[in-house]
Amino acid sequence: MANTTVHDTIRAISWTDNRLQLLDQRRLPGEYTTLSYETVDEVADAIRDMVVRGAPAIGVTAAYGVVLAARAQFAKAGVRWASTIQADLDRLAQSRPTAVNLFWAIERMQALVSRLGHGNPEAALLAEAIAIHEEDVAANRRMGELGAALIESPCAVQTHCNTGSLATGGYGTALGVIRSAYAAGKISEVFADETRPWLQGARLTAWECVQDNIPVTLLADGAGAHLMKQGAVKWLIVGSDRIAANGDVANKIGTYHAAIAAKYHGVKLMVVAPTSTIDMAISSGDEIPIESRPDSEVLSMNGEPVAAAGAKAWNPSFDVTPAALVDAIVTERGVVLKPDREKMTELMNN
């Protein structure tokens, strides 16, 4: 296996000095700032305000948020801490509605809460949060191997949004595949969509690639189809915030647009996500809740207006790509080619 260490130097989430530390992704690439959090309210606000983003990273962050909630409730309510923590868990759950990893992590931490006694719960909950974090990184490395194996010959690839270390516990999902494939000599160049309106591709994916010495070229979202028409890329590799039981995929707005273009031009679509992103309780993408964010994100940039005064904006944060457009879903448990309900069920029952 190729050495990927040189292409994996970034971590956005850490538990340091008995508190949660988050790299403020809103300030990248111009400023590298780490913020500290000691309360569950601060953590919920950090998730909502996009200090941290990306479904796996949100889940890991929420797990640490539960630790902070338990610390505060034990200090306030003593042995009654478990009966007073629910409001804190609800506050975390309400911070972002689409990313299923958020709810998965909270439910896993809540299951431990229900098993703990009346003593101080912090150490046990912290151990569980750290386990969630470490398992995510390990899963990402496994997905990197499995996804890279699908790329048969050296080529350029296109990606959308940010799916790297910044969006996960570390290494990344789609960008983890790109890291592994680049280290193995299978990827020559990454074309990154800018990803309006938050510019995660421009600010974050391009920054990660530059930091880790992976050749990257940035393009406007609307240029993707023209790039594919040139025959410049062979794979579109993306992440996901929620995958339905039939293989429909919710991801950052613009993914569906890119997937349609990929299908037309014979570019294969690879979706890379841990099984915690798969929601078997939702039969299709039609049932996935789509977060709607403020008009101001589209109408302005860095506080400066970019649209005519009086104009309105439509700002869904995610869209749904039908399973019929997906060539492969890569998870830590294995790869599903041409996903459908039967194949997804088989994967989740393994």
Distance between CA atoms of 30 and 49, rounded to whole angstroms?
A: 18
Burial code (b: 16+ CB inside 10 Å, e: under 16) for 113-148 equals: beeeeeebbbebbbebbeebbeebbebbbbbbbbbb
Q: Which of 197, 299, 196, 282 is CA-nearest to residue 247?
A: 282
189: nearest Cα among 231, 225, 218, 157: 157
241 is a catalytic site residue: yes
Which of the residues 193, 241, 248, 279 is marked catalytic? 241
Q: Any residues with CB less than 8 A from the CB of 303 and at least 6 apart, and which?
A: none
Show the CA angle centred on residue 147, arms to residues 14 and 289, nearest 5°: 65
> How many angstroms separate the CA atoms of 204 and 182, rounded?
18
Where are any strands of DSSP class E within the chain? 13-16, 19-23, 34-37, 155-159, 187-193, 216-219, 233-238, 242-244, 249-252, 268-272, 278-279, 300-301, 304-305, 318-321, 328-331, 334-337
Distance in angstroms (rounded) separating the CA atoms of residues 14 and 34: 10
- Residue 257's contacts (CB-CB under 8 Å, 6 or more residues apart) are 221, 224, 319
Are 331 and 275 in contact by the 8 Å Cβ rule? The answer is: yes
- For the chain, the straight-line distance linking the first and the last C-alpha, in angstroms and rounded, comes to 25
What is the identity of the amino acid at 212? D
What is the number of other CB atoms lying within 10 angstroms of the CB of residue 87?
Answer: 10
Alpha-carbon distance of 150 to 328, in angstroms, equals: 9
Active site residues: 241
